[in-house]
Structure 1
Amino acid sequence: MSTLNEKSNIQNSDSQNSESQDSQKSEAQKVQVEYSVKDAELLEDGKGVMIKAAQKDMTEVENDDPALSAKIHLVNDALDEIGFTWTHAALFCIAGFGYSADSQMEMIQSSVYTYVNMQFLGDNSYPIATQCSYAALILGSFIFGFGADLIGRKLCFNSSLLLAAVFGMFTGGAGSYPMYVIFFFLSEVAAGGNLGTDVAVFMEYLPSKYQYLNTTMAAWWGVGQTIAAVLAWAFMPNNSCSDAATCTSSNNRGWRYNWYVNSGIILVVGLIRLFVLKLKETPKFLVSNGRDEEAYETIMALAKKHNRHCSLTLEDLKSCGEIKEDYYNAKKHGHSFKKLCTTTWDNIKILFQSRKVTYSTSLIILSWMIIGLAYSTFYNFLYTYIAEHGATGLDSTYITYRNGTIDNVVGIFGPIAAGWLIKVPFLGRRGTMIIGAIAGMAILFGYTTCRTAAADAGFGSATYFLINVYYACLYAYTPEVFPTRARTTGVALCMALGRVAGAFSPVIYWFASSSSSAAPIWACGALIGSLSILAFLMPFEPSKQRTV
């Protein structure tokens, strides 16, 4: 009898556990189903202003985990309730400088490589450092992008600028070309990991009402280019040698000054990130890794800091149930390389989990590859083409750096215009990308008629402005349509493949620059125009939904 009772008790216990698990799953699914019901619900934000609580979340891009979907939804509600704060404003600037650092590093190399080659290699040498920079950017995208989804945004966010600055300083002090290439490569690895991480950090703290700032933040890309262009204009004309035969370190200090000052600026911002901003891990990353308590504490600390009301409770998060344990847990898995690889592969699979999501991801990757190849190749051939067709006054070092500075200053306003355009209801992200791609193609074709320094400044400014309208939307659209669990993995994959395509640009130029054919220019311009078709075909419109 005793044995039968024990068996009966065990069976009753199993039944209760099963019912409890079913209840948890049912509750999570119930919360997910109620998303549409909550569309009309109103919550009071931190300022006492009534706002709509829950637009429809972009749940189609998430993996099949109703508990996680429900938790992300609650985090979105909490951030919307708190509203925009000074912390968000500071994060817009400090995270935005990641864009700036990435573009600065690229701009420095384009400004100095001729004089570096003169000093170390002589004239007409293959651009080894430029080619290596593409490999470094690809590697940086993978290391920081994949890493941010595995171990968190915070470490990648805080370390990338510091590493880029330190290696940039070493690059400026290089005494030989191999050392220059090595330190430049390392600085680009660090800088190349900025973009995907920075936009993810900002986006995952941002209230949905202000999602347009994800696009506007790309203005910092132009800020970085402008800083680098101004410094090049200041240092290069009067501190550079004129030919390889007489080029020594003593009469060719301009490129070193460029590296030192740009790296110093990046170092200051990196220290501000570490010691002033003191960023906490993003709440969306925390809940996607089973760390509900930390996510709750982070949200409540933000609300308390700015004296805003937040109705979220830890019990709300817990009541959604347990998420699938397919994430990397350092405490549980230690330093298991196998687990890191399997989790990364799982994250990649999320980007292709359904036909619609696969279609979306494929179009985004193709867009990155086309813009990566076509834009840089166009510029490589442009000046050769217009020089052969009667251009005058474009061979002056002073004019080159002056026009470059003007172009980059004007380019800052492209993302700002894009941030305004995406708020136009019938345009959104996709419509703005269509406008940017078509207008960019038209101005690039017009650029081929340039024959004077003034025309170069005008066409260059218009090109930077219009292409940055497209670029800003693409930079924001990419992470917006990827879920938290695989967000930086997706961005890394897109940027890496875009840079793989871009790596062919100097190769194409090296082998085809002797030809006077205009075909490369027209082909690249047409490819940029084709981006409008891809934008039209993209299935998601983030301006109408909240990111997950």
Structure 2
Amino acid sequence: MNYPKNEKTAIGEPDSVQNGYSVGEGEDILALQDTDPALNAKMFLVNNAIDEIGWTNYHWKLFVLNGFGYCVDSLLLLLQSIIAIPARYEFNPSYPHALTIAVYVGMLIGALFWGVSGDIIGRRFAFNVSLFLCSAFTIVAGAAPNWVSLAVFIALLGFGGGGNLILDTTVFIEYLPSKKQWVLTWLAAWWGLGQSIAGFLAWGYLTQARWNCPDPFDKNGALVGVCPYSSNKGWRYLMYTSGALVFFMSIARITIIRLKETPKFLLGEGKEEQLVQGFQDMAKKYGRTCSLTVEQLEACGVIRSAHGKSKLSLGELTIHFRGLFATKKMGFSTSLVWFSWTLIGLAYPLFYVFLGSYLASRGADFGSPSPSITWRNYALVNISSIPGPMLAGWMCNTKILGRKYTMVIGALCSMAFFFAYTQVRNESQNLGFSCAIAFFTDVYYGCLYAYTPEVLPSAHRATGNGVAVACNRVMGIISAIIATYANTDTAVPIYVCAALFLVMAIVSASFPFEPYGKRSS
């Protein structure tokens, strides 16, 4: 069997420099785990080819069009919370938190479905289809005739959106040259953009008296007025507009980028001629060189750890989960990553679930801001989250911090502002601290989003990523249940959230892999 070059190259000495990128520079993150020697050898050659071609306009297109997935994910999560109140005015439901549970259930099932299917049938199909499903069900949800049907459509659009974050990061990292892997963190800035779009659309549609009913409930929650369809179209217009925007994004994905299957998925499939041809086509289009050949890949042997004997079998499913725990170090890493997603999945929504009740119980004097001011502040808080991942991208690309300690700093700063939030007593303080929390939480969150696919093996990356996001969604469901039955008159929930961020910081520091200076496997 022919292994790449020599031992010095394999452990990190660069062979040459082409197009500003060192070919063969840096150790592949999982290369020393020895789970599949043929896969390690071929992955080294593929990473060399990606580095040799370097950053191109194709990567800029991927950054924007994959960013749409982040944008849509955050947009969908906020839409259900934004429309819940005006839709409740119209439908008078017996269970007001149904939309929150519906969207998280949909996203939970979607994360698992699209994650596993991304490793079995490929990234391309899920990448192209998921946004179409989101757009269709978002528009249909705007025409829902009752609360139950609205919850069903919300769950279905969540199912479509459930795979976006998984496939966006998976596709992007499998094309990124090693020097640019930190850009994956910047994708999370699109999350804040999606939240901001939701806020601005709500500001436009839900502040118009002709499209929105006054509150038909008294202080005790009894229905004392009526809110007919004809007087309450604001939330429906919001859904129609959002659905049209997502449809535009889905069309752009297909017409602008015309995504081919990722090289690292093709490697696991054994489609080496197709893989090399894709690299050659990209190199030719962007005026780069690519020295990778089919013969070099074939000389490394046969990959045996990427798939089972049949894709339509329990063994195929088993191999993708077992591959995430192939060694003790990989298993420990996977477990900590999933645990981190579980913690942030509980802490972030739990804070906002209890925030209003806590502030009211502590006598916070917010006055009576108009709907316009309320939605303006909402948009400002979400805009504040956009620079967080951008700062995280710079921080995680420094040797002293790397990915792990960027997350530690983001978590500790978030913890500090959560504790400080217990002292909020007026609207100005609320806006300022909310903006700070949004910023620092996304420093942590954005880096975690990027770190997760970096440390997962390519053949099982979508599955591992899908389970991580699914853990997050489970906690979202639990937060809605807590909001229904728990006592919200104490400061305990906010202190619990702050403590959870402390645990996140400890877990981040304990991660066994540091991707800085290494290449994704």
Query: What is the aligned partner in structure 2 of residue 267 from structure 1?
Result: 247
Query: What's the CA shift for 1:502?
Result: 2.2
2: CA distance, partners of 1:69 / 1:496 = 29
Per-residue displacement from partner, 1:165-213 (whole Å, max 9, x unpaired)? 0111101111122221111111110111100111110100010000110
Secondary structure (helix, strand or coil) at the match of 2:245 reads helix
CA distance 1:403–1:414, shift in 2 (3 Å)? same
Query: What is the aligned partner in structure 1 of residue 147 from structure 2?
Result: 177
CA distance 1:141–1:118, shift in 2 (3 Å)? same
2: CA distance, partners of 1:234 / 1:321 = 60
> Are 1:450 and 2:450 counterparts?
no
Contact 2:21 2:54 (C-alpha < 8 Å) held by counterparts: no
- For residue 215 of structure 2, the aligned residue among 243, 268, 272 is 243
Query: What's the CA shift for 1:276?
Result: 2.0
Query: What's the CA shift for 1:241?
Result: 1.3
2: CA distance, partners of 1:394 / 1:71 = 64
2: CA distance, partners of 1:62 / 1:40 = 19
Deviation larger for 55-64 or 75-84: 55-64
2: CA distance, partners of 1:159 / 1:275 = 13
Secondary structure (helix, strand or coil) at the match of 1:542 reads coil
Query: What is the aligned partner in structure 1 of residue 360 from structure 2?
Result: 387
2: CA distance, partners of 1:410 / 1:520 = 24
Deviation larger for 191-200 or 351-360: 351-360
Query: What is the aligned partner in structure 2 of residue 316 from structure 1?
Result: 296
2: CA distance, partners of 1:398 / 1:512 = 31
CA distance 1:480–1:326, shift in 2 (3 Å)? closer
Query: What is the aligned partner in structure 1 of residue 335 from structure 2?
Result: 362
TM-score (norm 1): 0.90
2: CA distance, partners of 1:136 / 1:84 = 36
- Runs of 4+ in structure 1 deviating by more than 4 angstroms, as ranges, are 35-38, 60-63
Query: What is the aligned partner in structure 2 of residue 9 from structure 1?
Result: none
Query: What is the aligned partner in structure 2 of residue 540 from structure 1?
Result: 513
CA distance 1:227–1:61, shift in 2 (3 Å)? farther
Query: What's the CA shift for 1:126?
Result: 3.1
Contact 1:326 1:343 (C-alpha < 8 Å) held by counterparts: no
Query: What is the aligned partner in structure 1 of residue 42 from structure 2?
Result: 71
CA distance 1:84–1:326, shift in 2 (3 Å)? closer
1: CA distance, partners of 2:104 / 2:21 = 48
- For residue 164 of structure 2, the aligned residue among 177, 184, 194 is 194
- For residue 135 of structure 1, the aligned residue among 105, 111, 117 is 105
Secondary structure (helix, strand or coil) at the match of 1:418 reads helix
Per-residue displacement from partner, 1:231-273 (whole Å, max 9, x unpaired)? 0111112132112322111111111111111111111110111
**After superposition, where does 1:110-509 map in structure 2 within 5 Å?**
110-121=81-92, 125-238=95-208, 239-244=211-216, 245-324=225-304, 327=307, 333=310, 337=312, 339=313, 341-391=314-364, 392-393=366-367, 396-509=370-483
Query: What's the CA shift for 1:96?
Result: 1.1
Contact 2:305 2:319 (C-alpha < 8 Å) held by counterparts: no
1: CA distance, partners of 2:317 / 2:126 = 16
Aligned-partner residue type, residue 242 of structure 1 = P
- For residue 87 of structure 1, the aligned residue among 44, 58, 65 is 58
Secondary structure (helix, strand or coil) at the match of 2:22 reads strand
* Contiguous gaps of at least 5 residues in structure 2: 217-224
Query: What's the CA shift for 1:398?
Result: 2.4
2: CA distance, partners of 1:54 / 1:512 = 54
* Contiguous gaps of at least 5 residues in structure 1: 1-23
Secondary structure (helix, strand or coil) at the match of 2:192 reads helix
1: CA distance, partners of 2:447 / 2:8 = 27
Contact 1:285 1:485 (C-alpha < 8 Å) held by counterparts: yes
CA distance 1:35–1:206, shift in 2 (3 Å)? farther
Query: What is the aligned partner in structure 2 of residue 10 from structure 1?
Result: none
Query: What is the aligned partner in structure 1 of residue 503 from structure 2?
Result: 530
Query: What is the aligned partner in structure 1 of residue 219 from structure 2?
Result: none
2: CA distance, partners of 1:394 / 1:318 = 70
Aligned-partner residue type, residue 480 of structure 1 = E
2: CA distance, partners of 1:356 / 1:190 = 33
1: CA distance, partners of 2:75 / 2:83 = 12
Per-residue displacement from partner, 1:71-110 (whole Å, max 9, x unpaired)? 1111110110111000100100001110111110011111
Query: What's the CA shift for 1:145?
Result: 0.6
2: CA distance, partners of 1:32 / 1:287 = 19
Secondary structure (helix, strand or coil) at the match of 2:12 reads helix
Contact 1:348 1:489 (C-alpha < 8 Å) held by counterparts: yes
Contact 2:111 2:162 (C-alpha < 8 Å) held by counterparts: yes
Query: What's the CA shift for 1:157?
Result: 0.4
Secondary structure (helix, strand or coil) at the match of 1:56 reads coil
Query: What's the CA shift for 1:462?
Result: 0.6
2: CA distance, partners of 1:394 / 1:477 = 43
Deviation larger for 499-508 or 186-195: 499-508
When Rg is computed on C-alpha atoms for both structures, the one with the higher figure is 1
2: CA distance, partners of 1:109 / 1:471 = 21
Deviation larger for 408-417 or 341-350: 341-350
2: CA distance, partners of 1:290 / 1:429 = 32
Aligned-partner residue type, residue 206 of structure 1 = L
Aligned-partner residue type, residue 76 of structure 2 = M
Matched positions, count: 510
2: CA distance, partners of 1:133 / 1:33 = 51
Query: What's the CA shift for 1:52?
Result: 4.8
Query: What is the aligned partner in structure 2 of residue 18 from structure 1?
Result: none
2: CA distance, partners of 1:73 / 1:530 = 35
2: CA distance, partners of 1:87 / 1:103 = 25
Query: What's the CA shift for 1:428?
Result: 0.4
Deviation larger for 407-416 or 358-367: 358-367
Aligned-partner residue type, residue 99 of structure 1 = Y
Contact 1:411 1:464 (C-alpha < 8 Å) held by counterparts: yes
- For residue 510 of structure 1, the aligned residue among 484, 507, 521 is 484
Secondary structure (helix, strand or coil) at the match of 1:51 reads strand
Contact 1:154 1:279 (C-alpha < 8 Å) held by counterparts: yes
Per-residue displacement from partner, 1:310-363 (whole Å, max 9, x unpaired)? 11112111111221175168xxx4xx64x2x32121111111122111111111
CA distance 1:371–1:38, shift in 2 (3 Å)? closer
Per-residue displacement from partner, 1:447-485 (whole Å, max 9, x unpaired)? 222222222211111110000000011001111100100
Query: What is the aligned partner in structure 2 of residue 20 from structure 1?
Result: none
2: CA distance, partners of 1:316 / 1:454 = 63
CA distance 1:380–1:38, shift in 2 (3 Å)? closer
Contact 1:369 1:497 (C-alpha < 8 Å) held by counterparts: yes
CA distance 1:506–1:38, shift in 2 (3 Å)? closer
1: CA distance, partners of 2:40 / 2:107 = 33
Task: Percent identity, please.
Answer: 38
Per-residue displacement from partner, 1:29-70 (whole Å, max 9, x unpaired)? x4397364562233342x3x4635321111258672211111
2: CA distance, partners of 1:362 / 1:290 = 29
- For residue 76 of structure 2, the aligned residue among 102, 105, 115 is 105
TM-score (norm 2): 0.94
Deviation larger for 386-395 or 538-547: 386-395
